C-alpha cells in the first residue's frame, strides 16, 4: 500500500472509529466533542510514514485509527469504550487471514492483553483499567506480539517519564491517577513507524 493510500484509508478509519466512540459516549450520557483535526492528521501521517517503507497493512491501519481515538476519549473522559476496542479486535482478526498472520494475531492479542490483564490484577484494578487491557489485546492482534510489546513498552516509558515530571514539579501527588490512553497511542505509533518491529 502506498503512503498516500495508507494516509487516506487511515483518515477514513479514524473518523469511523470516532463515530463508534461518539455513539458509545452518547449511550453513557457523555459529551466528547469533536475529533481534533490534529489527531486525525497525525494518524494519517503515521500511516503514511509506515506506508512509505512498505510496513502498513489494514490491521495496522485499524490499530493506528483506534489508538488515536482512544487517546482523545481517555484524555477527555477517563474511559476507553468497549465498542471501540471490540471494533479494533474484529478488524484486526478479519484482516489477519489475508496476510497469513492469524496465528501472529492470536499470539499478539494473548501476549499483550494478558500482560496488561496481569498488571490490572496485580494492582487490584487501580493501576491499569480494563479498557487499557482490551485496547492492548487489539493492538497485539493488529501488530503482532513484538510490535505490541514495543508499543506498550514505549507507552510505559513515556507514561513513567511524564509521571516523574509531574511529581518533580509538584503538579501531582504520589498515587494520583494518570490516564494511560494517550501514552498507549504514542507508544503504538512509535512501534508502527519504527522499522523491523511489526510482523
At residue 42, the pLDDT reads 95
At residue 198, the pLDDT reads 56
At residue 194, the pLDDT reads 85
Average pLDDT along the chain = 90
At residue 102, the pLDDT reads 85
Give, in degrees to the nearest 5, the angle at Cα 9 between 8 and 13.
120
pLDDT at 83 over 70: yes
DSSP 8-state symbol, 195: T
Which residues lie closer than 8 Å to 51 by C-beta, 6 or more apart? 1, 2, 3, 4, 5, 6, 7
Mean pLDDT over 20-39 rounds to 93
pLDDT at 2 over 80: yes
| pTM given for the model | 0.91
pLDDT at 196 over 90: no
Q: Is-contact 141 86, C-beta < 8 A?
A: no
Residue (of 38, 42, 35, 5) closest to 19 by Cα position: 35
pLDDT at 151 over 70: yes
pLDDT at 197 over 70: no
pLDDT at 13 over 80: yes
At residue 195, the pLDDT reads 67
Of the chain, the end-to-end C-alpha distance in Å amounts to 16
Other CB atoms within 10 Å distance of the CB of residue 127 = 15
At residue 174, the pLDDT reads 76
Amino acid at each position: 500500500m502506498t503512503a498516500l493510500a495508507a494516509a487516506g484509508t487511515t483518515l477514513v478509519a479514524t473518523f469511523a472509529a470516532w463515530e463508534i466512540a461518539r455513539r458509545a459516549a452518547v449511550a453513557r450520557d457523555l459529551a466528547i466533542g469533536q475529533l481534533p483535526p490534529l489527531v486525525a492528521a497525525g494518524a494519517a501521517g503515521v500511516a503514511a510514514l509506515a506506508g512509505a517503507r512498505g510496513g502498513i497493512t489494514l490491521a495496522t491501519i485499524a490499530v493506528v485509527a483506534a489508538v488515536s481515538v482512544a487517546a482523545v476519549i481517555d484524555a477527555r473522559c477517563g474511559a476507553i469504550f468497549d465498542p471501540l476496542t471490540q471494533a479494533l479486535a474484529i478488524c484486526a482478526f478479519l484482516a489477519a487471514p489475508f496476510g497469513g498472520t492469524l496465528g501472529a494475531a492470536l499470539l499478539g492479542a494473548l501476549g499483550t492483553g494478558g500482560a496488561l490483564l496481569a498488571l490490572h490484577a496485580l494492582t487490584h484494578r487501580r493501576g491499569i483499567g480494563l479498557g487499557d487491557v482490551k485496547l492492548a489485546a487489539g493492538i497485539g492482534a493488529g501488530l503482532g506480539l513484538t510490535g505490541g510489546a514495543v508499543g506498550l513498552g514505549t507507552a510505559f516509558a513515556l507514561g513513567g517519564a511524564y509521571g516523574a515530571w509531574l511529581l518533580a514539579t509538584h503538579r501531582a501527588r504520589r498515587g494520583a491517577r494518570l490516564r494511560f490512553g494517550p501514552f498507549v497511542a504514542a507508544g503504538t505509533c512509535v512501534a508502527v513507524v519504527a522499522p523491523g518491529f511489526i510482523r
